[in-house]
Amino acid sequence: MAGTSNQSGRDDESLRRGVSGTAGAAASLRELAEAALAVLAGTGTHVADQDGDGWQARVDKADGPPLELVCRGPDLPVTVPEGIAPPGLIPTQRPWAGTHRLVVTAPLIVFDLYWTPGQPLRIMTFSRGDWEAVLLGRSRGLFRDTGLVLGLDDGNSAGTLRTDPLQRTPKRPDLR
């Protein structure tokens, strides 16, 4: 959605382009987040522990330690909000706690997002690396191998992932 702006007045092109600033050269933050959420929906397990409800999954790599994916929150959403909270906004909203947190480790934390639906995304950590290709490849493999159907959950404006192909939901675009 070119031309949309977040609370800082900047457009959201950086969310689509990725941090590198070169359109198409690297996966966008939204694409990476949606890939992680798709893997969690397709192969993740629900956990409820001292940290609350969440989902976790492991993605093996050809070499090196596996990726560990964790999403905490009341549901497993389809996507993350548009817009990025500017650094100057964050200290003015203390204490702040998002309803959702998505973390990817490879083995260090390489991707860490906090959000609440309808509010700008808070990027806690983002480091480029081979983990991006591994994650995107795994999410694309889920669509080919399992026929995973993703769509908005009727009655839930935030949207949640569905894996039951018999449920009538709008289909998301192919991630190929």
Q: What is the pLDDT of residues 76-105, one digit of tens each?
A: 998 888 888 888 888 888 888 899 999 999
CA atoms of 33 and 102, how far apart (whole Å): 8
Segment 120-147 shows an average pLDDT of: 84
Which range has the top average pLDDT, 60-64, 94-98, 109-113, 161-165? 109-113
pLDDT in tens, 47-78: 998 888 999 999 998 888 999 999 999 999 98
**Interval 36-46 mean pLDDT:** 95
End-to-end CA distance of the chain: 20
